[in-house]
Amino acid sequence: MTAAATPAGTPGSPEPGWPGQPGEPLGRRPLIVCDLDGTLLRPDATASAYTRRTLNRLAAAGVALTIATARGMPSIRALLAGVELPLPVVELGGSYISDAVTGEHFVNHTLDREVTVALVDALAVSGIEPTLTSWDGTADHVDFGELGNDSVRWFHDEKAALGDPRLRYCPDFRALARSAQVVLVRLAAPHDDAERVGKLIAAACGDRAAVLAIRNDYCPGWTEFSVTAPTADKGTAVRGLRERLGHTGPLVVCGDHLNDLSMFAVATAPQDRRIVPSGAHPDVLALATDVTGPSDADGVARYLASAYLAETAEG
């Protein structure tokens, strides 16, 4: 994937060159920002024909809609095949804001080099195998190692099944940490070892990285850790996206898990909506303005169709 990037974390002012903004800002139109896993996707990590059709109908009706996900662009494209995404999307949990067609990064947040080196060295000493997502100035890479546990194998194999061109074998993570622009360090631990690994990460990174620990429903028994730059979160990305697109209207955010909380924190105006599928994490449900049907019944897509396409939820 070809990519170019602006300096990290500099939202700037509305720019007509951004996709989906042909010379005029979004203004007071509602802007809908949707998570994928657990929200638009079903529990088997697929988007139903109904959901994909609804997203296209929303776009055709002039509804401003985009995606904010922990996934990378190749997965977004594969899972939403046939869906038009004219606005920039938030990928890797806020590390990038990117063009959904070309993959160009308009904003990126890379990890501090010293933090990356300290973390990767600590993981090597402890025998913990990471996966690093990096950018070399031209292309994105997902660097994997020996695939020595169920979690890293799942992470690799899921991307391979989706045809992810970023996958690349790395024989030496310590060398890569000292040379690459790393945006994400991903690792996992069995649930009963997660507390120890969390403390190891905290000791290596201090307050110079954001760390998210989530139990991986796709790979039972494992807690997944994502380590990113402190400014790489969905909330920061959504704020920057709104500013870039000149958006001053209602913000509608749809999510289900802990990495969506920062996005919910920026949707607090009286006209904003926080849409959550039933079965979501309790902390997210507690902030919902609207709770939909479950993800396995396309609850969020049905809500959006009912609210923005003037049809019943069964549409």
Domain chopping of the chain, boundaries: 31-108+232-308, 113-228
The residues with which 133 forms a beta bridge, in sequence order, are 142, 184
Q: Could you tell me the pTM of the whole model?
A: 0.90
pLDDT class for 272, splitting at 50, 70, 90? very high
- Which distant-in-sequence residues (6+ apart) come within 8 Å of 298 by Cβ? 42, 48, 50, 51, 54
Query: What's the chain's average pLDDT?
Result: 91
What confidence tens digit (pLDDT) does each residue in 39-98 have? 999 999 999 999 999 999 999 999 999 999 999 999 999 999 999 999 999 999 999 999
**Other C-beta atoms within 10 Å of 30: how many?**
18
**Helix (H) / strand (E) containing 179:** none
Quick: pLDDT tens for 170-226: 999 999 999 999 999 999 999 999 999 999 999 999 999 999 999 999 999 999 999
Cα–Cα distances in angstroms (integers) from residue 81 to residues 53, 76, 136, 273, in the given order: 11, 8, 27, 27
Residue keyed to tokens 């109908």? 57
Pick the CATH number of 113-228 from 3.20.20.140, 3.50.50.60, 3.30.1240.10, 3.30.70.1150: 3.30.1240.10
Contacts of 13 (CB under 8 A, 6+ apart): 243, 244
Top-level CATH class of 31-108+232-308? alpha beta
